[in-house]
């Protein structure tokens, strides 16, 4: 882990052209930045930077190492982004109750497109001409984005589930 920190410090020094500025951006002291670069140079066995009192420059090996490190970090960032996107995949069961007219005119035609877009979602569609009873229930605020109030199915509702007006926090953006 220390070598990753050292490589990151090395990259920032090269990008900023300055130990102090890079250290400030990374939240470390210039001395710590210098130590990180020295440890990386000891680890790879070559000098990476030419240092003078006024400026720094990359050695030939340092330029090659810099390009390799930037490409590696970019690949890691791309993979992390891909993994985050994959973890936001929508899955589960959606339970919907609707009157006959609404189900046949609006819900059924859209259902095919929805299931094509979200193959890991299953839909329980209850078609009935009854209005489900919903009751209002308050929630404790757990975090800033949590809803303060919502509607939930009354436990006495018979015949299935319904979608009631509800504000929900934590849903993937595709379902908002």
State whether the Cα torsion 5-10-14-18 is positive or negative: positive
| pLDDT given at position 167 | 35
Kindly report the pTM of this predicted structure. 0.49
Confidence grade of residue 20 (pLDDT, cut at 50, 70, 90): very high
10 Cβ neighbours under 8 A, 6+ residues apart? 36, 37, 40, 48, 49, 65, 66, 69
Residues 26/19, Cβ–Cβ less than 8 Å: no
Domain architecture of the chain: domains with CATH: 2-86 (1.10.10.10), 92-168 (3.40.190)
pLDDT at position 134, please?
56
154-171: pLDDT as tens digits = 333 334 433 443 333 333
In tens, the pLDDT along 64-97 reads 999 999 999 999 988 988 887 776 677 788 888 8
């Amino acid at each position: 882990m220390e070598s990753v920190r050292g490589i990151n410090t090395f990259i920032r020094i090269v990008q900023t052209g300055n130990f102090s500025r890079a250290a400030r951006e990374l939240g470390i002291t210039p001395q710590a930045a210098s130590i990180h670069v020295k440890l990386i140079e000891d680890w790879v066995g070559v000098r990476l930077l030419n240092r003078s009192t006024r400026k720094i420059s990359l050695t030939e090996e340092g330029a090659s190492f810099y390009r390799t490190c930037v490409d590696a970090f970019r690949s890691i960032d791309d993979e992390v982004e891909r993994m985050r996107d994959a973890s936001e995949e929508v899955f589960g069961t959606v339970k919907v109750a609707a009157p006959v007219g609404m189900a046949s005119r609006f819900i059924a035609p859209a259902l095919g497109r929805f299931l094509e877009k979200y193959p890991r979602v299953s839909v329980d569609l209850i078609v009935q001409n009854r209005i489900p009873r919903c009751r209002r229930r308050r929630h404790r605020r757990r975090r800033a984005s949590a809803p303060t109030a919502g509607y939930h199915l009354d436990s006495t509702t018979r015949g299935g589930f319904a979608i009631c007006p509800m504000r929900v926090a934590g849903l993937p953006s595709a379902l908002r």
